[in-house]
A and B are shown apart, each in its own frame.
Chain A
């Protein structure tokens, strides 16, 4: 660790991992509810468990992004963080607000939570991924502003690199587009149209800038390749991301009451969305192959390469699979969507946060550069367990989705939703098994932090 204030990243990373475990526990509950319909009913109905699963994901990824920024920006700017105290304060505010929100989901009916938190004053709740009470949303805005101020001031007073600038653009975009979560008109079509300005412009827009910048940082550090080369790649990748991804929003505007020209705009541009992900894969492997040093933290390099591959498969390939309007007409809102969502989030955002944690945590815990060999072996096992089980979760959900699409939408004799769900139950069982393996992999990942031993030398 080059700067003392980078240490504020540590609680962010610990919270991220803790909430990640919670997210996966609820994922396993949800998977079981798909096949044992009354599991935990009526105490924890599916909608509550799902809300906890998706909201914990978003919150822990935000913890991860913030931790990454607090570690990365001082090092890139070659200066101490503007205010470590503010970073710790916002950490606790965000953690307590997040915990209270999740407890609210679990302990009281959602309608009561809406009433208790005054949703009637400014109704924003009850939309997918934006289920948080309005007051929590306001809290998120406050935390985001304090965070951006802290990061922005640090960049301003120090060295300005492409990596930290791209990260800052991504983070500012994240905060700006979140503001659309406060716009909730009575008109359902308008509501949906701008809801995507948060959801799509986050995950297929500005979050990819954050992803690219963290990946570039870790590759600079672990491969020793010239910064100029890596920064040029970064620009090209994020240029393609926004050139394809902004109009690519149109692939959500096919069937929600918006004009039909979106079927053309959305299909053409989102069909190109895999390009930046493919470039990211080429980039990561190229840099590692051209490395000028063998960094002792091999686990971090594995996670970085894994991110590039899995983001391309999950976001790129599985996204392309159902993005063309004539195909999406049949697959829209089926298990195909769920399959894509799982692998894309894991490959792009879960893995980049773990890449950063894997790279930074040894230093944050007082080591020179890496954990012991035996700790890294455990960590790499957890990489393969989680990644392979996520591949299987995706494949099983894809099989379920293809059958669902066919039986419910495509045949001459379409069957009702619940009839179809029973016919594809076997795939939900297999998905659940893969989900349990994922949880085991995650537990192993958490355990890898407690494996001691001497630090390996740089080869």
Chain B
């Protein structure tokens, strides 16, 4: 680079630019937080849904599935599974019925031996997640 563009100019762009864009990011974050209540379905977060999130986390569901498109890509998207399967009963039935030893030659979800309370909670959590306003993502019901 030419001599007219000095190291201290480069340094100032670094510090100035970083601080400016971080402050802008904080401002956008502030605005996002104020806009969230209209989109994030927070009214549906009951104690049961909160427990469901813990069940979701403590069984590492994200290690195979995506949730709103984030996670692992080994198993179906679950952000819209409530809509895909149609009911919390269907979700619970699926989780409950996983064979302990898997399915020969195929991918299979482990049998997590969840209690009825945990099953209800995780199903309610997935119902809550499906009703978050995600700007129409995923493109269709298959996730």
Contacts and interface: CB of A to CB of B under 8 A. Distances in A.
A51 B58 contact: no
Contacts of A119: 58
A189 B107 contact: no
Contacts of B133: 257
Interface string A197-239: 0000000000000000000000000000000110111011011
18 contacts: A46-B75, A47-B63, A125-B58, A126-B61, A186-B45, A188-B132, A229-B1, A232-B1, A239-B17, A242-B14, A242-B22, A254-B137, A257-B68, A259-B32, A259-B39, A332-B138, A333-B73, A417-B143
Given A332-B69, A337-B73, A409-B142, A265 B10 contact: no
Contact of B58 (A110, A249, A409): A110
Nearest to A112: B58
A417 B14 CA distance: 45
A409 B139 contact: yes
Interface in A49-93: 50-51
B21 A329 contact: no
B132 A189 contact: yes
B45 A187 contact: yes
Interface in A84-120: 110-111, 114-115, 119-120
A427 B39 CA distance: 38
A38 B21 contact: no
A457 interface: no
B116 interface: no
A100 to B, nearest CB: 18
Interface string A110-147: 11001100011001011110010000000000000000
A418 B107 contact: yes
A45 B129 CA distance: 25
Nearest to B47: A186
B83 to A, nearest CB: 14
Contacts of A265: 28
Given A33-B107, A37-B105, A188-B129, A410 B139 contact: yes
A409 B64 contact: no
Interface string B33-56: 101100111100100011001101
B102 interface: yes
B74 A38 contact: no
B8 to A, nearest CB: 9
Nearest to B36: A189
Contacts of B111: 42
Interface size class of B (residues with CB under 8 A): 35 or more
A409 B107 CA distance: 21
A179 interface: no
A246 interface: yes
A24 B37 CA distance: 43
Interface of A: 33-34, 36-38, 41-42, 45-48, 50-51, 110-111, 114-115, 119-120, 123, 125-128, 131, 162, 184, 186-193, 228-229, 231-233, 235-236, 238-239, 242-243, 246-247, 249-250, 252-260, 262-263, 265, 329-330, 332-335, 337-338, 408-410, 414-418, 421
Given A337-B73, A416-B142, A238 B14 contact: yes
B53 A257 contact: no
Contact of B101 (A42, A187, A188, A414): A42
B62 interface: yes
A235 B60 contact: no
Contacts of A120: 54
A128 B35 CA distance: 26
Contacts of A33: 74, 107
Given A188-B53, A232-B6, A247 B60 contact: no
Nearest to A166: B14
Contacts of B139: 329-330, 409-410, 414
Given A193-B32, A418-B76, 7 more contacts: A47-B60, A126-B56, A126-B58, A128-B70, A190-B33, A263-B135, A329-B139
Nearest to B84: A416
A418 B106 CA distance: 10
Contacts of B68: 188, 192, 255-257
Contact of B74 (A50, A228, A262): A50
A235 B11 contact: yes
B94 interface: no
B57 interface: yes
B110 A257 contact: no
A344 B5 CA distance: 31
A232 B73 contact: no
Contacts of B24: 246-247
Given A42-B110, A236-B13, A253-B32, A260 B135 contact: yes
